[in-house]
Amino acid sequence: MFVSIEKSTGNLITSSACGSIENELQNAINCGFTEAQIEVKEVTDEEFKNILIKSNTKELTLNEIKQNKINELSIACNNSIVNGFYSDADGAKKLYDFELENQVNIVTKAYQVQLSQLAGQTLDNISYYTKGGECHDYTPSQFLKLAQDGEVWKTSNIQKYKDVLKPKVSACTTADQVNAVTWDGDVNATQTTI
């Protein structure tokens, strides 16, 4: 996770669960700060919580409270994605890891399946691991379904964050309304599950 902090006060400006230092710097500049006013650094979840606590010790404006909530929801979105997804691609519902490395591996294997199909080649079964390390074999079409289920999971989480919860926070007019918005608490913002 990357955060941008206002150098003079030590207050959090923005944060991003994914991205880069350059993206976070641009986010802070978009918030009206100059590059000289900003310190961008990578932090752990624990360090981020401490930054939020420090920021909350002063009287925050409604916009700062909203930004903190948006940061919190961004982290929750990322955590939900990487905690894994369910797929019944081979007929039995199983849980799969979806850390960034797993996302890349699944997409790469699915791409290989598609390339072989375009070339008219026949592929043997594809081996892949469920969360917890149990290896299963999948036909090419089953593996494409598995990859699709992973992408649906990722997209539904991102849509929940960007299209439902973030606008909901932006529309709030009080700190209590902002604080009432939670990742798990909004029944109108559910992800697709298998």
Residue 193 has pLDDT above 60, yes or no: no
- What is the residue-wise DSSP string for the chain? -EEEEETTT--EEEEESSS-HHHHHHHHHHTT--GGGEEEEE--HHHHHHHHHHHHTS---HHHHHHHHHHHHHHHHHHHHHT-EEE-TTSS-EEE--SHHHHHHHHHHHHHHHHHHHTTPPP--EEEEPTTS-EEEE-HHHHHHHHHHHHHHHHHHHHIIIIIIHHHHHH--SHHHHHH--TTT-TTSPPP--
Read off the pLDDT of residues 178-190 as tens digits, 9 standing for 90 and up: 999 999 986 554 4
Read off the pLDDT of residues 99-126 as tens digits, 9 standing for 90 and up: 999 999 999 999 999 999 999 998 889 9
Read off the pLDDT of residues 154-166 as tens digits, 9 standing for 90 and up: 999 999 999 999 9
What's this model's pTM, rounded to 2 decimal places? 0.67
Q: Which of 34-43, 58-67, 80-89 has the highest mean pLDDT?
A: 80-89
Domain definitions of the chain by residue range: 1-58, 62-194
Average pLDDT, integer, range 7-24 = 72
Average pLDDT, integer, range 22-28 = 74
